[in-house]
Structure 1
Amino acid sequence: MYLRRSPRRSRLGAALLGVAALLVSACSSSSGPTAGSAGAADAALAALPRATPSALAPYYAQRLTWRDCGVPGFECATLKAPLDYARPDAGGVRLAVARKKATGPGKKLGSLLVNPGGPGGSAVGYLQQYAGIGYPAAVRARYDMVAVDPRGVARSEPVECLDGREMDRYTQTDVTPDDQRETDALVASYRKFAEGCGADAPKLLRHVSTVEAARDMDLLRAALGDRKLTYVGASYGTFLGATYAGLFPDRVGRLVLDGAMDPSLPARRLNLDQTTGFETAFQSFAKDCVRQSDCPLGGRGTTPGQVGKNLKAFFRKLDARPLRTGDPDGRRLGEALATTGVIAAMYDEGAWEQLREALTTAMKDNDGAGLLALADSYYERDPDGRYTNLMFANAAVNCLDLPAAFSSPEQVRGSLPAFEKASPVFGESLAWATLNCAYWPVRPTGEPHRIEAKGAAPIVVVGTTRDPATPYRWARSLADQLSSGRLLTYEGDGHTAYGRGSACVDTTINTYLLRGTPPPTTGKRCS
């Protein structure tokens, strides 16, 4: 499933840092092609006992030793957590933590933990590159800004699966197979990816779930000396934050869940909803594109449906004959990378101009460099051919949190009509992307469930009406599930809402963080 990492300073970076596993890893759940949400409605995440188990006492008693981490204004530390919370004495993991202390003036309100989503996005990198300098000055003045890379992510004992050249081949694999040979090649690619992850970290791979990451956040809360957790999470970070609230409702301070996920849905429903979300975002792009003088997919009067057909036809041409890109490693732009580049730009309307330029260059000049650059930003591939571990951690968490959506290519084929109905442009490739977890070397430990967090303080859930990656209906559902959920609606485009240009959204969230005043129980709408 495609989720989110959160904003960097540039507009496109704001979109891409919020993206998750695009054609690499699908969020997953029930394996049947007709699975719905039945069953999930009967299960709710249970809160943990308030008393700290004696076996965890040493972890809760630890204090962080801060040191310079090479980025001006930031300090770094290491947090220790048990590898397996059921066996705290059986070894641990070391988690990277970063902090930027409150700048003042005004009374300090404690620590504000941030998570950019993914799963797999580096929270430490996000803090240092954006949140610690880009959050509103009034918020940074009153809070110590803090981040921890979840287990298996970035600086926290990262999961590694493939080297750079292997990842290059993986990201170019045809994800719309036309025959058995191409289907076998896709399955082989998924298997190789999974086997690489299993060989790298066989023990850790069993313990990178969202529940464990949420429990790690409570250790960090204690180590920081905070009685309650104050937190802003984006996209997948909303699932992480909601999970924390479900496990520790009495320790919830001020929680903002922006671009919310719905934990009660099984994978087929999650992926279909998200496919619809990308189609909704593409329709907005298409309507805007044909009003521009440089739209390569049609002119004034062209319907969004025809724009989609034109793009799909272009993808089919790339499937048969990839374009040159000028890449020093010889990569060409095929359908897979082009689809990644287009979907990446759906996360933020600020990237639409760049997408039009990249499509124009590709369609008229047979030069795929622009779309390749969008795809590389999405995958976090640098010019030297190195990838961060974003995609590896993303698969590791997703495939552990829920059972695989489909267990065979035959099941995917059976679901193609539903996915293509949800999105004529992206449905086929998104359906095949759900197959990744079918070959995962570790059995999943999670299931769909509601999160109620009974007894928690008010929790602000933010939803954007035309969000491509976390459809608005998910925010409404999560706000309804949470016993203290307060829905904040942003009527607009793009993925997530805080810090993306709406003064109404920003003022509402800042007021909540600084004064503790949430939106009304009836919800609030912004544009």
Structure 2
Amino acid sequence: MRRHPVLILLTALVIGVLTAGCGDAADTSGDAASSSSATPAALDRFYGQSLSWGDCRPFASTAVERPYYVAPFQCARMTVPLAYSRPEGRTASIGVMRLPAKGDRIGSLVVNPGGPGGSGMTQAALASIGLKNTDIPKRFDVVGFDPRGVGASTPAIHCFTDAQRDRGDDRVTALGSAGPWTADYTRNLVQECANRSGGRDALAAVGTRDVARDMDVLRAVLGEQKLTFAGQSYGTRLGAVYAEMFPRNLRAMVLDGAIDPGLGTAERRIILHRGFQRSFDLMAASCAKQADCPLGTDPGRSTEEFQKITRPLLTNPVPAGGGRNLGFNQATGGVVNGLYYSEQWPAIIAAIAQVKNEHRGEKLIALNDALAVRGPDGVWNNQSDANYAINCNDEQRRTPEQEADLRSAVFETSPFLDPGQPVDGVSRDGCEAWPVAPSLNIPYAQDIDKSVLPQTMVISVTGDPVTPYDSGKQLAQDLGAKMLTVNGERHTVAQAGLNPCVNGMFADYLINLKLPADGASCTL
């Protein structure tokens, strides 16, 4: 099923990719602020606040998002402590969007799109549209929030200017980055992020555990005794961490496109790139059936043919319209973005053909721009910057030697992304100069009190290129959840409303708390 192109673009944006390994904000241990049995008195003013709902238009960060920030959607700002260990100190403002229920209201359904760095406000609009043929928007207020550091929330993370992004200078977040990275580069980058984002304390306050605390404040502010939550991709990490911290505060939870909580950063990155190579190979095999396929008619040589097209872009970018050029990182980024959904394979093939035959890159740079949402006016949202910062607050760190080994392993696993350049001397962990150490404590969500956690639902797509099917099985086991298998080739499915079979089980669980039967499956 094909969707409206803007909807495809935004969904690709908000799901995003877990890329570089990094670390978590301070104050993530099991302290009073993370207890689900009591709220510290110092947090009463946050838990007891009232939201003032109004016009959404001021909350849109780019022209691409603006058409969705209109009535009947309502928006508000919620105040939270920047650091929960210092609730009397500096605060953050969280942007929230809702579509009020149209029928017999059960409560609020809070959604998260992934990334990390994706806009939950935009996702509330997209999910409401995607699920319009189900009873979910009738029974629930559909609610999304921009996690701290993201989109309309303030302080927002900004590391690069729009001009730098247009030139492809945001190397630290590029999947195919060829460097060079030096200690000075990573140190200066962190300082630039701090300068543009409200200081080092703002950088240190965007970890997943901080967002989970915000989500519990949101639950209370929405008037819900217990939270109903649907998260996809990185949103499955957020949901699992919330379940770990606030197991008594959940009514129902659906996690779609799961991250395995037990996998370390390096292992997960290899698995991620194995999925991308698999999807690239499937796309190339479909292309090879066409006489004019830019990757040739022999699927076994498609990676080699792709390298011949893209590696020259390292030193000789091609024009891409609007005064911009398409370089290697933007070309590979555009292809990766298209690989999220099999319905976008024809667009990838056409874009590669343009580079090969016309020596132009408008089509591939458009796919790359969609990953981080660049408006037609040249304004980018901060998805990629926030992705970098959140990962720096969550993920494990590596020495330069470990990073070089990992990069070598990544390119062996996913050779279509290999720039063909040495990795020694140009490989560094982009988070090595981050102001706080990692403290998500991977593996996470391993000691959840299942006696008080409601039985949850995990959805996993067999051909998901980003969060593999086996990760869904593992997360379901960790949570004691019921698993829905979806046969298909795409990353996540439930909130898009693409499949009647998925829609029915998704809605039945959220509305009636009826879980799928053992071995339940759907086919796209």
Give the TM-score normalised by the residue count of structure 1.
0.86
Distance 1:486 1:231, change over 3 A: same
SS in 1 for 2:20: coil
SS in 1 for 2:224: coil
1:362 aligned partner: 355
1:113-148 Cα offsets, whole Å, 9 max, x none, are 1111111111112223x1233323411011111111
1:53 aligned partner: 40
2:488 aligned partner: 492
1:524 aligned partner: 520
* C-alpha deviation, 1:514, in angstroms: 1.9
SS in 1 for 2:180: helix
* C-alpha deviation, 1:372, in angstroms: 1.0
1:11-410 matches, cutoff 5 A: 12-13=8-9, 15-20=11-16, 25-28=19-22, 48-70=35-57, 71-104=70-103, 107-128=104-125, 130-137=126-133, 138-157=135-154, 158-171=156-169, 183-184=180-181, 190-199=186-195, 200-201=197-198, 202-299=200-297, 302-303=298-299, 305-328=300-323, 331-404=324-397, 406-408=398-400, 410=401
1 CA distance for matches of 2:301 and 2:31?
45
1:507 aligned partner: 504
SS in 2 for 1:382: coil
Backbone CA RMSD of aligned residues? 2.8
* C-alpha deviation, 1:152, in angstroms: 0.9
The answer to whether the 8 Å contact 1:289/1:295 transfers is yes
Q: What percentage of residue pairs aligned between the two structures are identical? A: 34
* C-alpha deviation, 1:275, in angstroms: 0.9
2 CA distance for matches of 1:18 and 1:511?
25
SS in 2 for 1:18: helix
Give the TM-score normalised by the residue count of structure 2.
0.87
1:413 pairs with 2:393: no
1:443 aligned partner: 437
The answer to whether the 8 Å contact 2:14/2:123 transfers is no
SS in 1 for 2:79: strand
1:417-428 matches, cutoff 5 A: 417-426=408-417
Number of corresponding residues? 491
* C-alpha deviation, 1:407, in angstroms: 2.7
SS in 2 for 1:436: coil
* C-alpha deviation, 1:291, in angstroms: 2.3
1:396-444 Cα offsets, whole Å, 9 max, x none, are 111011232x232x43333344223322212669998883223434432
2 CA distance for matches of 1:207 and 1:436?
18
* C-alpha deviation, 1:492, in angstroms: 1.2
1:28-69 Cα offsets, whole Å, 9 max, x none, are 479xxxxxxxxxxxx999972412222222222222222233
SS in 2 for 1:147: strand
Q: Which amino acid aligns with 1:326?
A: G
* C-alpha deviation, 1:395, in angstroms: 1.0
SS in 1 for 2:93: strand
Moved more, 169-178 or 390-399: 169-178
The answer to whether the 8 Å contact 1:11/1:351 transfers is no
2:65 aligned partner: none
Unmatched tracts of structure 1, length 5 or more: 1-6, 31-42
* C-alpha deviation, 1:292, in angstroms: 3.5
2 CA distance for matches of 1:118 and 1:382?
19
Unmatched tracts of structure 2, length 5 or more: 58-69
Q: Which amino acid aligns with 2:411?
A: E
2 CA distance for matches of 1:445 and 1:386?
33
* C-alpha deviation, 1:495, in angstroms: 0.7
The answer to whether the 8 Å contact 1:327/1:369 transfers is no
Distance 1:444 1:8, change over 3 A: farther
Distance 1:350 1:192, change over 3 A: farther
